[in-house]
Structure 1
Amino acid sequence: MFNKKILLIFLFAFLIRLIALNQSLWLDEAITASVVKNFSFLQIITKFSPTDFHPPLYYLFMKLWTNMFGYSEIALRMPSVLFSLGTGWVVYLIGGVWSAVFFLFNPLIVYYSQEARMYMIVTFFLTVALYYFLKNRNQIIFGLFISLALLTFYGSIFLIVSFLLFSLYKKNYKFFLLNTFYLILTTLIISPLLYQQLINSKVALSQVTNWSIVLGKANLKNLLLIPIKFSIGRISFYPKWLYWGIAGTWTAFILFIIRKTVLLIRTVLIKTVFYLLIFPLILGFLVSFFTPMLQHFRFIYLIPILAIILASGKKTSMYRYIEVIGFVIFSLVYLLSSQFHREDWKSLVKSLPKNVPVYMILSSSDPVKYYSQSSNVLTLESSKDSKQKEIIIIPYTADIYGLDYKTLLSKNGYQLKKEVSFREVTYERWAK
């Protein structure tokens, strides 16, 4: 089960995850930091979670973690690093060395293993559940991990339902009934919170002009982006014709390997995991017509299944080496090229002029507050009433909220004097 080859693979996987681990936090990560720093365990459940769109387990875990290790970028991201490695180990137990390699060096996994969000933890929970599902082992442990997954990320329901429907199809009624009971029990426990979150989400969708676009509508573009991002990760570049050429070719190659494996190796394992790869995407696509959530990262827990399929081809196949080399190249392009890193709030905040009021969407201001305890951030809409001769505008998410701040400022006698840009974030200097 354990040998030097595996040790070296996991050591290399760990080391590359340390590259640029201290890059700037982006908005969602800064929200994580703010929540675990400013709320107690009870307040996370009673005050923060009703206004959020995720269950509270991840934040409760991070509250415990940061109490011990602090709030630095590395401390906040280290759980995702460790859970990604833990998931790789479970994938190894299911599908062997090549499966672990395809998972650990998948560029999208490498990216999210450096993010202080819940996606790697829920991937770990669901992969452990997958292990017990495929090995037909302890149903209680399976039930425990699907419950933990649902309490971490609501989007895990698509794979959980796929597990249950497959067991029903196989006439494994005991498994189906027992784990349906676990699912219902978990849902009942969290239902008061979920009900409040659903109400608040409807309010947000009605009040925030372009919020549904951010969440991911059910359309062909969002659907096609899932296999593309599963194959090349989060990198994107200009010219777009070159990006789409490279991304499309590599994705087509990965899909070709999947198709070839499924058609030629018709074992029970391959049939099962292929179903578990495809059916959650179908469910997610259908649900997104009513509740938009069709984005690649919300299905990242399917990549362990993808890795198992990719590793199931002929053992002597040169395709394996091509796949690994491709994954590692795309991962290193992200890691070693700062242009592909997250929003650079760290540099932006550092460059803000002193003693000049800063206006932005307050719900998006956590990165500024994380990197500057002294910054007094004011609501962007109130800038129209400012009496200051000079102000700073951070227009981040203003388009999502549908706020035409430029018109408001012009009516108040302001003119845009300077625009200062960093990676994916900008601030503007306005003066009368």
Structure 2
Amino acid sequence: MKKILVIVLFLAIAGELFSQASAPLNKRISYTTDAYPLHRAQKALTDVIVHDIFSPPVASRIYVYANMAAFECLAAGDHNLGSLHGQLSKFPAIPAPGKEVVSSVAAIHAFFNTAKQLVFSEKRLMDSAAAVLKWYKTKSVGPKQLAASEAYGKLVSDSILKWVAADNYKETRRMKRYNLLKQPGTWLPTPPGYMAAIEPHWNKIRPIALDSAAQCKPAPPTRFATDSSSAFYKEAIEVWQTGKQLSTEQIAIASFWDCNPFFLNTQGHLNFATKKISPGGHWMLITALVCRQKLADIKTSAAAYTIVSAAIFDGFISCWDEKYRSHLVRPETFINSNIDESWRPLLQTPPFPEYPSGHSVISTAAAGVLTSIFGDNFAFDDSTELEYGLPVRHFRSFKEACDEAAISRLYGGIHYRPAIENGQTQGRQVGEIVLQKLKLNR
């Protein structure tokens, strides 16, 4: 009888852990790991990024610097973690923490102190920080430890922010806006908002692991042509035909990976935005999901967040370098002008040139990094889109997820096939370089 009770109790606990691992991040509670506050911090930052409507490249910048700060606090007090000092050019040396410092508490402070300098809604973010930090008061962390940890977290954050200030971001804010080219086949603003091109100077931003923005330059796009026998015209026909005969599953895939923070609703003369996570935000939440599923501790989780965010950040720099080199026209513009003037893609076309596909680049880079950490056949349920009204999707591996994210752009009608396939090749290269350059575990 006792054996039966033990088995029943074990199954009940296992079931609870499984249900929490599969639940949305904002519905889960702490159960075993000291990484709980870091996961909450990530979700709080994502919520603010969505609220402030940052572009995908800018969002990636916020994620990577906040996570670097948290990781450096942990690395400074643990010889098993490899500091970014010495790995990245001019990255500051972080002093060792004092005896009263609790590294995990300091890491959360550094995360929020860094992030608040990079977002608009600072108060909203710091309200979340206060709620997250209350967790440590229930874990017998004394007042002296809390004060020392807060001071150390700020010291680390301030040091890293000086390094951040030299990444050319401020300089790009003062550069000229994108001028439309008057050449056939070049990008034009698209409906419904006809928004200006986003971040045309992003290739000027300092990468994390890449030697330059052009290090992973992809093969050039197919030569533009309007002749119906040309390769380019046939690529456009594929987008058009695919969009006209989408299956229920293809629509679900395209919608799940939309990740368009610029989505504009139009009702008559009324325009309003629907806020969504960015492609990078989606993969940061996947990272949170799998860290929780593995019950990873705060050090393992911080390393995962840092290296994934670095791959996403460098992926956007590499991708945007090519976007504003090739300046390629979007399928919607070409199809409306040359094939079918009434055709509309399933997804709203984002406001920047077509080639290559940003989601394909950063998804493949992130998936490669996650595979190196958690293995080739790591199955997971992706619940990140539940709060946006979309159901959970199951993946047998990170590769399966990134492949689906990439092909979703064809289903959505916003990319030609070469942008997807060559974008994945580019993303794979970025991920490999990030893994070669950053050694976060000794």
Structure with higher RCO (Cα < 8 A, 6+ apart) = 2
| TM-score tier (shorter) | under 0.3
Q: TM-score, normalised by structure 1?
A: 0.26
Q: TM-score, normalised by structure 2?
A: 0.25
Structure whose residues are more often helix by fraction: 1
